[in-house]
Amino acid sequence: MDKIPMTAGGLKQLEDELRNLKDNERLAVIRAISEAREHGDLSENAEYHAARERQSFIEGRIKELESIISYADIIDPTKMSGDVVRFGATLLLADEDTDEETIYQIVGQHESSIEQGKLSISAPLARGLIGKSLGDSVEVKTPGGSKSYEIVKVDYI
C-alpha dist (Å) from residue 17 to 40, 84, 117, 148: 34, 33, 20, 36
- Give the pLDDT score at 1: 63
Distance CA 86, CA 76 (A): 11
The three-state secondary structure class of 106 is: strand
Tell whether the model's pLDDT for residue 27 goes beyond 70.
yes
To the question of pTM greater than 0.85 for the whole model, the response is: no
Amino acid at 146: S
| pLDDT single digits (tens) 67-106 | 999 999 999 999 999 999 999 999 999 999 898 999 999 9
- Give the pLDDT score at 45: 80
- In the chain, which segments carry CATH 1.10.287.180? 4-74
* CATH classification for the domain delimited by 4-74, as one of 1.10.287.180, 3.40.630.30, 1.10.10.10, 3.30.70.3450: 1.10.287.180
Distance CA 42, CA 63 (A): 27
| pLDDT single digits (tens) 114-155 | 999 999 999 999 999 999 999 999 998 877 788 999 999 999
Amino acid at 136: D
CATH architecture of 77-155: Roll (3.10)
